[in-house]
Amino acid sequence: MARCENTRINQLGRRFGPKIIEELEIVGVNEWADSAVILRCRFTVKPLEQWNVRREFLKRLKRAFDAAGIEIPFPHLTVYAGQLTDGSAPAFRVLSAAEKPPPGPASRS
């Protein structure tokens, strides 16, 4: 298990540092998921402060990922209408309830 030095002060600053009792402990890779690598880390905080510290930690982690160009993966879904599955099918046109569809074989008058 790896430990990060000076985590209390350097990572969470003066506001959140005093709420942390023990240094951040990075346990390692917890799971290889379909669209994610789940890392496990933990630190001990004062009673009833875990949610505030967790939110701040995740906010700062996201900022650090953005600064480093690390994207958060998410699952993608491709829907094909018709038979063109090679990527050359025209895009769907999504209409709001107020819009009328263009005239053509698919429109209903």
List pLDDT tens digits, range 58-102: 898 888 889 999 887 777 777 766 667 777 777 777 777 777 776
- The band of 9, judged by pLDDT with boundaries at 50, 70 and 90, is very low
Instruction: Please report whether residue 92 resides in a domain.
Output: no
CA distances from 107 to 57, 82, 101, 103 (A): 52, 17, 6, 6
Instruction: Please report whether residue 93 resides in a domain.
Output: no
**Which residues constitute the domain of residue 9?**
2-68
Q: Where are the alpha helices (DSSP H) in 39-89?
A: 50-68
Instruction: Please report whether residue 97 resides in a domain.
Output: no
List pLDDT tens digits, range 21-67: 888 888 889 998 877 888 888 889 999 999 998 898 889 888 888 99
Pick 77 or 108 by higher pLDDT: 77
What's phi and psi for 55, nearest 5 deg?
A: -60, -45
- pLDDT value at residue 1: 38
* Counted domains in the chain: 1
Instruction: Please report whether residue 95 resides in a domain.
Output: no
